[in-house]
Amino acid sequence: MEFVVISLLNGITYGLLLFMLSSGLTLIFSMMGILNFAHASFYMLGAYFAYQISTWVGFWPGLLVAPLMVGVVGALIERYGLRRAHRFGHVAELLFTFGLAFLVEEIVHLIWGNVAVDYRIPAELDGTLFTLFDTDFPIYKGFMMLISVGMLVALYALLTRTRIGLIIQAALTKPDMVEALGHNVPRIFMLVFGGGTALAGLAGVIGGNAFITEPGMAAAVGSIVFVVVVVGGLGSLGGAFVASLLIGCIQTFSVGLTISVTDVFALIGIVLPEGSQVARLTITQLAPVLPYMLMVAILIFRPRGLMGARES
């Protein structure tokens, strides 16, 4: 019981962080049709900006300023890079974002070095929020949850309850009509791209000190973010939310399972030959690949994802 509850809490915390990361990616995709390979790089930038700011004025200003800075960087990249690349079609765009990811990593290497920086949780958030059964739940995890849920609510309100949100939604499906009505669609795109990257930046601000801030952090989450987006359905914010929580929970619970591959196959009546390396693997060891297996399964059986709107 204790294990289930604690794992659920861990899974949800991790899932919410994943959601923060993937929401920007899916938003950008649904608006602009761009698969942003450099999305995780903005997550890393968020963490490094926040670290830099925290060394000068502390954590709290960074929480606000770092995502804004990342958003500005993102908007500038859209305005002066992506928009040009866009003229040459989707392949050019993809390659552009792909290259951008490497560029950001190298820049981070140059500025902050190869070694992880000492970006710490602020003292006031370092402690125990509550003790459940016998396990402590840290304040910082609660804080991460709060920020992600707050962001989800704010994003939802922005998209459905405000004028700019309505225009964004309209531009999503009928960009020509929106343009004909006198709105500056390219600028809306720039805002969306900036906003999406700012969300990734925010995830970096709170993920960087919860885990570790190092030049490899973008690569570490880069692929899992795509899994979330594909499983949730490209372009669906709701889908990304469900998929994030699902993957968060799969990863935490699978670590806890000690049964082996042989046992799993035995459940469905298949006896594996004994002694093979694969058969002896436990689910715990497979935990890191399970999300990818889920992605492959989704792509085969339901290519549009859990809640995706687009078939292709």
Interface positions with other proteins (CB under 8 A): 2-3, 6-7, 10-11, 13-14, 109, 114-116, 118, 128, 131, 134-138, 140-141, 210-212, 214-217, 220, 251-253, 255-256, 258, 284-285, 287-288
What count of residues does the chain have?
Answer: 312
Which one, 128 or 162, has the nearer CB to other proteins?
A: 128
CB-count exposure of residue 116 (10 Å: 0-12, 13-18, 19+): middle
Give Cα separations from 125 to 43, 121, 128, 205, 208 (angstroms). Answer: 21, 7, 9, 14, 14
Q: Which is nearer to other proteins, 42 or 253 (CB)?
A: 253
Both structure tokens of 244: 């994030």
Nearest approach in angstroms of CB 215 to other proteins is 7
Q: How far is the CB of 251 from other proteins (least distance, A)?
A: 7
Question: How far apart are CB 293 and other proteins at their closest, in Å?
Answer: 15
Burial classification of residue 250, based on how many CB atoms lie within 10 Å of its CB (0-12 exposed, 13-18 middle, 19 or more buried): middle
> To the nearest 10°, the Cα dihedral for 57, 18, 289, 103?
-50
Taking the complex as a whole, the smallest distance from the CB of residue 120 to other proteins amounts, in Å, to 9
Query: Phi and psi at residue 132, in whole multiples of 5°?
Result: -110, 125
131 vs 312, beta carbon nearer other proteins:
131
Dist. CA 96–CA 8, nearest whole Å: 38
83 Cβ contact list (under 8 Å, min separation 6): 186, 189, 190
Q: How far is the CB of 224 from other proteins (least distance, A)?
A: 11
DSSP 8-state class, residue 277: H
Nearer to other proteins, 212 or 272 (CB): 212
* H helix count then E strand count, the chain: 15, 2
> The tokens 């294990």 sit on which residue?
3
- Closest contact distance (angstroms) between CB of 55 and other proteins is 13
Pick 109 or 174: Cβ nearer other proteins:
109
Please give the DSSP secondary-structure letter assigned to residue 307: T
Cβ at position 56, least distance to other proteins in Å: 18
- Residue closer to other proteins (CB basis): 98 or 112: 112
